[in-house]
Structure 1
Amino acid sequence: MSRWQQWWKSTRREVASEWMALGAALFFAIACNGAFWHAFAATSAWQEPGAWRLVIGLFIGMVALHTALFILVLNRWTMKILLPLLLMVTAAAVYYMNHYRVYLDPDMVRNVLVTDSKEASELLTPGLLVSLLVCGLLPCLLVWRSRPVQRSVSRGLAMHAAGLLLSLIVAAAAIGLAYQPLASLMRNQQDIRHLITPGNWVVSLVKVLMDDKASNGPKAEIGKGAAIERPANARPRLLLLVVGETVRAHNWGMDGYGRQTTPKLALQDGINYPDVTACGTNTEVSLPCMFSPQGLRAYDRKAIRESQSLLHLLDRLGVKTLWRDNQSGCKGVCSDLPFEAMSQLAIPAYCSDGRCFDGVLLDGLKSKIDETKGDAIIVLHMLGNHGPAYYRRYPDEFRKFTPTCDTDQLASCDAEAIRNSYDNSILYADDVLSKAVELLKQESPSRDTAMLYLSDHGESLGENGLYLHGVPRSIAPEMQLKVPMWLWLSPEMRKADGIDMGCMLAKRIAPRTHDAMFSTVLGLMRVRADVYAPEQDLLTGCRKP
């Protein structure tokens, strides 16, 4: 045995798993909860008389409850596996919580679980490596240097039970010490609990796994008895439904933004809706919601997940469907329906380094349309303004607003550079959308056509220290919830349905939500169904008898 091995062995100390659980809980409370304490300091509770009781109660309660949680899963066999895993995941969580002000609620954890490798690679920054080293690897070395105490199973169970009971008693005492201000804090700042690390992501992960497992059965049919009601001699209809990604209304040129980021769409004869609210603040929530009959007004994630989508209903009625994707999938909206992953095609004109510009969605689209007979709906799911790499979302010729933020670490750029990169992405989206309209105009001799564009959620660009998106909806800033929506109808479609464009323009300023998409699509396809809500249809009241 070498001297190094002798030294390593001689300096290792026995540590009972109960004490390791307490040490880990103390480490997390002190070193890994900066985001929580920062958010707490920003609340009025910090200013109330007796705030010291609340601070002490919070700290002791946090340590005691985490200790109890760790005692349940740590023993001499699992300690050197589970605790390092917990440390490394928490180190990553700490970085994103501190850097982007992320709240690790179930929706955010679910969003993380479905993030593809391309999205994840853009979030692997030097800052993350530092956090993994300081809050993850170094504590892991201490864990690995320890030796678990050897004791009988009966004594181990007894010590575990005693440690668990003592932790719960201390937690109860701490909560009792600060019950009134703590109850007020949790009532008025409900989402602050999603910043308490690592309990936030552990509890959220368990909840996600349990909820998703319970919802994996066959999808319930929607719109039973639905039918398309158009004259027998009516021309077929083609609807292009474009789902944007992370485009916020605040930077949308036609919504009164100081810059014209939508110059080409502004020249098209379309209708812009300036007051639209998203279902959620991430794609995992918004995409299924907008394609569901429940929508935001009756949001029920379980019911949405267990039911078919708008596309399934149309497919059942004989409308040809196609989902073209330059993102991370359709989140179940198009399950078992025709799907094309455009980013996987690696078309040189649009793609490099594993990513494609959104122009790829139009590649070969004309031939796809020509192959489709009868009614059809084609969904284009854009990569859009997906952060943090806004500078990678547009070709060089659209780098109009400068200087730009040419790094994935947004906090290292000033606000103007971030905004410039983001606006350039919208400028490119405007070009793609305008080309899509021109493509639809070519179909006018044989079809009635329309295009509806709607972003899934907005984005924070550093306002109030927030970046990206995914803040719980109840406390989300307007930047993450207000999105652009734009509708174009061909002259032939307007004539066939007797659409009064003056009426449409007059009604466009009314507040709308993502719910408008579901019934507007049914209305454009002239579908009679019990899930059709006329008050949500953008054309209601503007069709002439």
Structure 2
Amino acid sequence: MSSVPWRLPGVIPAVRQSGSRWPRMTVEMLVLLASVFFALTANLSFWSAALPRGMGQWRLALALLPLLLGAHGLLLGLLLHGRWAKPALVMLLSVTAGTTYYMQSYGVYLDADMLRNVLHTDWAESRELLTWRLGQHMLLLAGLPSLLVWRLQLLRRPLLQGAMVRAGFLLVMWVLMMVGAAVAFKDLSALMRNQREVRYLVTPANYLYGLAHLAFANPAASDAPLLPVAEDARQLPSAATRKPRLLVLVVGETVRAQNWGLNGYARQTTPQLQRLDAVNFRSVQACGSSTEVSLPCMFSPFGRSLYDEGKIRSHESLLHVLDRVGVDVLWRDNQSGCKGVCRGLPFESVADAGDPALCDGLRCLDEVLLKDLPAGQAQGGDRILVLHMLGNHGPSYFQRYPARFRQFVPTCDTAELGDCKREEVTNAYDNAILYTDHVLATAIERLHRIDGYDTALLYVSDHGESLGENGLYLHGMPYPIAPKEQLRVPMLMWFSPGFAADTGLDLKCLRTRAGRPASHDDLFSTVLGVFDVHTTARMPTRDLLAGCRG
């Protein structure tokens, strides 16, 4: 019998059959080794945020390491059992490797809202994020460890003995956490008080907690009937005698106010809109830093000021109120859906339209949204057409515009933004805004030619974007710590001469009003006002047109 060179508690030397040297071990030892692996390799973003001065904060580092080990030991100890331990761990390794790649590359914080974004991502979005560097990262941190895990042989214990050992293991992990907390309680409490969002960087605990939260804490997102809002809504009698109104409400994607030419940006990214008689709102705050948060919020009467995710998702939106009073509603989408805002209402996706001039088989440029404009003569009453743009959706900004709009060069022509200079990323991003400017100007010119309606256009972006500031890219930071680049968005309005005359709208007054702060919370009451809808849910102080109408 050969000698055994090493022993660890919970590890038994492999039976040397057919020359095999792979060890046999208990599930508890596998959990402990996995916890060490995750703490050291999957939490680089966490260590960087928690220890900005490096080992100068050695006392805090000594506290955080046992905390991470104990927390993940507890979590994995509850998840990994018996014959399913290895398949489950392999899955965790794969998901964790993919998660840490995006966290480290783009500065992403993985809270429940970001997880919802990920789960609702379509293939076209996902494809842009599948890069060679991701493959290398997955091979190193998921492929090789998974191979090792798969070759292990796990020991099995009798049921009662296994339960007692597992309970003891979980108790040890709990004690390990308490020891970590005691080592540097003062520093640790300061970290949790001043940087609470750092918990969203603890991986894989962050996404496991987030998935549990989405599964159990938000039943409002199910297919249950939406609860009504503004049940007393009605159109004023004058709506039956005036000319029908057509509002084109354009929801922009990932355009930030800082790069919007009409806001005084150093380079002119909105030259066509500059020549039109549009009203630009210079200081607008978004409801959230991601589409999954902002879109339901901005169409809700509750908004950010009364933000309650469950309440927003369980209730009707602005569009349901308009539909109920007789306004014709259509949502036209070049993105990944309306996030429940148009549930049960007419919906049209153009994301896979077959126009060879505008589509490449996976994505379509935003001009495809303008089909059927002008709409010709009025057929019935008022209409609202919502256009959900692809806009500046990242990270592949260079794919959001035709070649003729590549005016700011050189550009970043890859999804690996960290491989490009900041100037190149910004140039590609600004070119995409140039194209948005063109799409909006084209829509306004077409609306101007429509005789059958009094027409108007309202454009507002859903959220902004980070372009490398403080090491952050893309968007989706938790709202309390989201930078201004992700929360300040452009908004503008345009009204046909007939609309302005019929409503007595003073555009000079509105331009003065546009210099004041505004937010997504104003959309609900403003749009109801456009269609003369009266309801107690409409707040005059939130109607951006209220003080400038005759």
Shorter chain as denominator, the TM-score bin is over 0.9
In the alignment, structure 1 residue 383 sits paired with structure 2 residue 393: no
The question of 1:89 aligning with 2:95 is answered: yes
Check conservation: 1:519, 1:533, Cα contact below 8 A.
Answer: yes
Instruction: Letter of the 1:417 partner, please give it.
Output: E
Q: Distance in 2 between matches of 1:442 and 1:150?
A: 77
Aligned to 2:333: 325
Alignment partner, residue 52 of structure 2:
42
State the SS of the aligned residue for 1:53.
helix
Change in Cα spacing, 1:163 to 1:396, as seen in structure 2 (3 Å) is: same
For 2:292 and 2:156, locate their aligned partners in 1 and report how far apart those are by CA, in whole Å.
Answer: 46
In 2, Cα distance between the equivalents of 1:263 and 1:373? 36
Task: Please say if residues 248 and 386 of structure 2, whose CA atoms lie closer than 8 Å, have aligned partners that are also in contact.
Answer: yes
Q: Which residue is 1:427 aligned to?
A: 434
* Gap runs ≥5 in structure 1: 1-5
CA distance in 2, matches of 1:540, 1:233: 21
Q: Give the corresponding residue for 1:115.
A: 121
| 1:103 alignment partner, one of 101, 105, 109 | 109
Listed as ranges, the matches of 1:109-508 within 5 Å are 109-213=115-219, 215-216=221-222, 217-231=224-238, 232-367=240-375, 370=377, 372-443=379-450, 445-508=451-514
Aligned residues: 533
The CA distance in 2 between the partners of 1:59 and 1:214, in whole Å, is 38
Contact residue 342 and residue 361 of structure 1 kept, 8 A: yes
1:53 Cα shift?
2.8
Q: Which range moved further: 434-443 or 276-285?
A: 434-443
Please say if 1:31 is aligned against 2:41: yes
Q: Distance in 2 between matches of 1:218 and 1:63?
A: 44
Q: Choose 378-387 or 160-169, whichever is displaced more.
A: 160-169
Aligned residues of 1:14 and 1:148 also touching (Cα < 8 A): yes
2:96–2:204 CA contact under 8 A, matched in 1: yes
How far 1:26 moved relative to its partner?
0.3
CA deviations on 1:155-189 (whole Å, 9 max, x unpaired) are 11111111011111221222122222211111110
Matched, 1:57 2:63: yes
Letter paired with 1:117: W
Counterpart CA distance in 1 for 2:137 and 2:152 is 23
For 2:254, what is the secondary structure of its paired residue? coil
Q: Which residue of 2 aligns with 1:3?
A: none
Q: Distance in 1 between matches of 2:346 and 2:214?
A: 28
8 Å Cα contact 1:271/1:508 also seen in 2: yes
**Offset at residue 371 of structure 1 (A):** 7.2
Structure 1 position 213, deviation (Å): 3.5
Tell me by how many angstroms 1:214 deviates.
5.2
CA distance in 2, matches of 1:348, 1:225: 47
Query: Cα gap change, 1:7/1:275 in structure 2, threshold over 3 Å: closer, same or farther?
Result: farther
| SS in structure 2 at match of 1:151 | coil
Percent identical: 48
Deviations 1:395-429 (A, max 9, x none): 11111111111111111111111111111100011
1:46 and 1:332, CA in 2 relative to 1: closer, same or farther beyond 3 A?
farther
Question: Contact 1:320/1:372 (CA < 8 Å) preserved in 2?
Answer: no
Corresponding position of 2:25: 15
User: Aligned-pair distance for 1:292?
Assistant: 0.2
- Give the Cα–Cα distance (whole angstroms) in 2 for the partners of residues 214 and 537 of structure 1: 28
Of 170-179 and 282-291, deviating more is 170-179
Native 8 Å contact 1:102 1:470 kept in 2: yes
Q: TM-score, normalised by structure 1?
A: 0.95
Structure 2 SS opposite 1:272: strand
Per-residue deviation, residues 329-388 of structure 1 (Å, max 9, x unmatched):
000000111111101222212101311000000123435x65743100000000000001
Structure-to-structure mapping, 1:517-528, within 5 angstroms = 517-528=523-534
Which secondary structure does the structure 2 equivalent of 1:484 belong to? Answer: strand
- Return 5+ residue gaps in structure 2 as ranges: 1-15
**Kept after mapping to 2: 8 A contact 1:108/1:470:** yes
Alpha-carbon distance in 2 for matches of 1:7, 1:370:
84
SS at match of 1:55: helix
Contact 2:377 2:452 in 1 (8 A): no
Q: Taking structure 1 as reference, are residues 9 and 320 closer, same or farther at Cα in structure 2, changes over 3 Å only?
A: farther
Cα distance in 1, alignment partners of residues 353 and 329 from structure 2: 20
Distance 2:188 2:537 in 1: 43
In structure 2, relative to structure 1, the CA distance for the partners of 1:403 and 1:485 (3 Å cut) is same
- In the alignment, is the contact (CA less than 8 A) between 1:405 and 1:421 conserved in 2? yes
Q: Is the 8 A contact 2:229 2:317 kept in 1?
A: yes
- Hey, what's the Cα distance between the residues in 1 that align with 2:217 and 2:358? 38
What's the offset of the Cα at 1:466?
A: 0.7
Is the Cα contact below 8 Å between 1:40 and 1:46 reproduced in 2? Answer: no
| C-alpha distance in 1 between matches for 2:309 and 2:296 | 9
| CA 9–433 in structure 1, closer or farther in 2 if over 3 Å, else same | farther
Single out whichever of 322-331 and 371-380 deviates more from structure 2: 371-380
Alpha-carbon separation, structure 2, partners of 1:135 and 1:427: 40
- Could you tell me which residue of structure 1 aligns to residue 539 of structure 2? 533
Which sits farther off after the overlay, 445-454 or 243-252?
445-454
Deviations 1:52-108 (A, max 9, x none): 332111110110110011111112211111000000000001100100010001110
SS of 2:101's partner is: helix
Q: Distance in 1 between matches of 2:228 and 2:282?
A: 33
Q: Is the 8 A contact 1:346 1:354 kept in 2?
A: no
Instruction: State the secondary structure of the residue aligned to 1:192.
Output: helix
Q: Per-residue deviation at 1:9?
A: 6.6
What is the CA–CA distance in structure 2 between the aligned matches of 1:214 and 1:451, rounded to whole Å?
A: 32
Quickly say closer, same or farther: Cα 1:130–1:325, change in 2 above 3 A: same
Q: Aligned Cα RMSD in Å?
A: 1.5
Cα displacement (A) at 1:8: 7.3
Q: In structure 2, what residue type is equivalent to 1:414?
A: K
Q: In structure 2, how many angstroms separate the alpha carbons of the residues matched to 1:230 and 1:403?
A: 57
Amino acid at match of 1:292: S
Q: Answer whether contact 2:220 2:313 (CA < 8 A) is retained.
A: no
User: 1: distance between equivalents of 2:498 and 2:188?
Assistant: 62
Q: Per-residue deviation at 1:126?
A: 1.3
Q: Judge conservation of contact 1:499–1:543 (CA < 8 Å) in 2.
A: yes
How far apart, in 2, do the equivalents of 1:146 and 1:28 lie?
18
Shift in CA distance, 182/428, structure 1 to aligned 2, threshold 3 Å: same
Distance 1:193 1:90 in 2: 15
Q: Corresponding residue for 2:11?
A: none
